[in-house]
């Protein structure tokens, strides 16, 4: 058995299913190119039949990257497969990822079917996809809760039908590591022709065991892992690419090798976090802000004497520079450009100049500029094309006073002003915006998060706004938390006001 582990990244498909994390085609291409530099083997670029946007993303990503395989997801439906094949026509190496649910939960309740019919559909879908591409991956949805004997029947049948990769997803994140590992081992020992295909893992983190299950799958014979940057994904997320890559790099005795350039991990982590507006939790393994921080006196003493006393990973191995250039108001364009490059962002001179001017304004307000600040500035132009923009905001607030806000909105070049009182400055400002927009909107979720620390820090605001029965997500960052709140509200409004 080969000890080469193939990395299948689904950040742009499964990861993008997280509410509020949708990217446009340009942003997806940026992530895809970063994934190529990182060294992933397969990029799952989207679910083409689901929307014109997903179809176009698969097309454009196929054009933009060179050596990774580009994968398109489908159901076991001929139309899905036809559309996926069309979307992959520019891919240098294309893969169709088709499949169907195999657990009793799916067979009985989702499909109102039986095992024999599902088996026939699995074989038919695999053969149909094989007409378009040589590389066909088949997923057995909810394999984690599928009877092993029946699962083996399906896996054996689709391999005979032409599948080159068979995906064994723990779709609900239910399995325990020993159970999932035993499932992979059972397939390796009981499927005739298993040597003709690669077994893949796809584990969700509902019980916090996605990475542990994935590792057990690999140790028992799987040679592809389906992962996402920062572990993003539906519900509690997916297996983290960075965790799997660093586990096997750290445990060389296992003999498992990947093609990942680990020094690129930190940069792409921050890029994905910024583009998808998904903060990385401080204690996140490998890429969290505190992953290499030590506050205990005993730990600090030990690390200063010998880093390996408390650190099993050299920060430089994942792209964190111990001697990183500190950015201040006195830093020049070269320093800013260098920091952006480390974070995986390349800007032309005109755009760099614009970002640099915004950087100077922010640096005058903050003592320290961190990576998240820099990425926020680089991505700020994404709001430049919004139909509705905040022209100015003035708020009066204090103890014993009623909060009053005045706002001016630029709507398609025309300016509108309004003032309102409210239960606090944010409420007053939001009411003033509503009085201009004249739509019935409800804020369902309102999350404020400091990027780092300190009263002068950038504050990130995530907002979920309900309008006409649909939810829209807004995001903004500003040193003024009231301004950030209003900008996030307007960002959400721009998603439905055309």
- Binding site per annotation, positions: 14, 202, 204, 238
Q: Which residues are annotated as a binding site for Mn(2+)?
A: 14, 202, 204, 238
End-to-end C-alpha distance for the chain, whole angstroms: 56
> How many Å apart are CA 372 and CA 368, to the nearest integer?
11
Check: CB of residue 280 under 8 Å from CB of residue 460.
no
- Spatial strand order of the sheet with 441-450 comes to 441-450, 459-467, 470-478
Residue 147: other Cβ atoms inside 10 A: 12
What is the residue whose two structure tokens read 């005045």?
A: 406
Of the candidates 226, 333, 313, 316, the one whose C-alpha atom is nearest the C-alpha of residue 267 is: 316
What is the residue whose two structure tokens read 């006393």?
A: 309
- C-alpha angle 143/148/153, rounded to 5°? 90
Residue 334: other Cβ atoms inside 10 A: 10
> How many Å apart are CA 194 and CA 320, to the nearest integer?
40
Kindly compute the dihedral angle of the four CA atoms of residues 76, 80, 81, 83, in this order, to the nearest 10 degrees: 180
DSSP-derived 3-state class of residue 162: coil
> How many Å apart are CA 58 and CA 50, to the nearest integer?
12
Kindly compute the dihedral angle of the four CA atoms of residues 65, 68, 69, 71, in this order, to the nearest 10 degrees: -70
- C-alpha angle 158/162/168, rounded to 5°? 40
Of the candidates 396, 413, 414, the one whose C-alpha atom is nearest the C-alpha of residue 405 is: 396
Helix (H) or strand (E) holding 267, with range, is: helix 265-275
Residue 199: other Cβ atoms inside 10 A: 22
């Amino acid at each position: 058995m080969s000890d080469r582990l193939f990395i299948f990244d689904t950040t742009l498909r499964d990861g993008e299913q997280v509410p509020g994390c949708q990217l446009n085609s340009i942003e997806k291409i940026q992530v895809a190119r970063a994934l190529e530099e990182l060294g992933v083997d397969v990029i799952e670029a989207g679910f083409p039949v689901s929307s014109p946007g997903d179809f176009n993303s698969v097309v454009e990503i196929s054009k933009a990257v060179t050596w990774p395989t580009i994968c398109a997801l489908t159901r076991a439906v001929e139309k899905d497969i036809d559309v996926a094949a069309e979307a992959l026509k520019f891919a240098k190496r294309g893969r169709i990822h088709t499949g169907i649910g195999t657990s009793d939960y799916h067979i009985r309740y989702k499909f109102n079917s039986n095992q024999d019919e599902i088996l026939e559909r699995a074989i038919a879908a695999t053969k149909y996809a094989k007409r378009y591409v040589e590389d066909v991956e088949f997923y057995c949805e909810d394999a984690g809760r599928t009877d092993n004997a029946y699962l083996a029947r399906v896996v054996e049948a689709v391999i005979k039908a032409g599948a080159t990769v068979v995906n064994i997803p723990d779709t609900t994140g239910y399995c325990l590591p020993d159970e999932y590992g035993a499932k992979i081992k059972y397939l390796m020992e009981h499927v005739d022709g298993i040597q003709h295909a690669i077994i893949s893992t796809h584990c969700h983190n509902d019980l916090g065991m996605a990475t542990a299950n994935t590792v057990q799958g690999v140790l028992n014979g799987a040679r592809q892992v389906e992962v996402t940057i920062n572990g993003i994904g539906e519900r509690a997320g997916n297996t983290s690419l960075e965790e799997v890559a660093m586990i096997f790099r750290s445990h060389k005795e296992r003999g498992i090798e990947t093609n990942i350039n680990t020094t690129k991990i930190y940069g792409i982590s921050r890029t994905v976090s910024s583009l998808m507006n998904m903060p990385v939790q401080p204690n996140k393994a490998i890429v969290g802000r505190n992953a290499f921080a030590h506050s205990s006196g005993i730990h600090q003493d030990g690390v200063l004497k010998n880093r390996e006393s408390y650190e099993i990973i050299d920060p430089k191995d994942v792209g964190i520079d111990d001697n990183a250039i500190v950015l201040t108001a006195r830093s020049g364009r070269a320093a800013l450009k260098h920091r952006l490059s480390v974070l995986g962002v390349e800007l032309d001179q005109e755009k760099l100049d614009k970002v640099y001017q915004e950087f100077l304004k922010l640096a005058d307000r903050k003592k320290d500029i961190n990576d998240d600040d820099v990425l926020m500035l680089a991505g700020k132009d994404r709001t430049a094309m919004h139909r509705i923009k905040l022209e100015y905001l003035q708020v009066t607030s204090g103890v014993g006073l009623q909060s009053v806000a005045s706002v001016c909105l630029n709507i398609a070049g025309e300016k509108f002003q309004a003032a309102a009182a409210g239960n606090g400055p944010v409420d007053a400002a939001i009411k003033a915006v509503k009085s201009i927009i004249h739509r019935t909107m409800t804020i369902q979720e309102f999350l404020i998060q400091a990027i780092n620390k300190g009263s002068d820090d950038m504050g990130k605001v995530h907002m979920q706004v309900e309008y006409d029965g649909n939810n829209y997500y807004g995001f903004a960052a500003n040193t003024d938390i009231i301004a950030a709140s209003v900008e996030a509200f307007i960002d959400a409004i721009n998603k439905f006001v055309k």
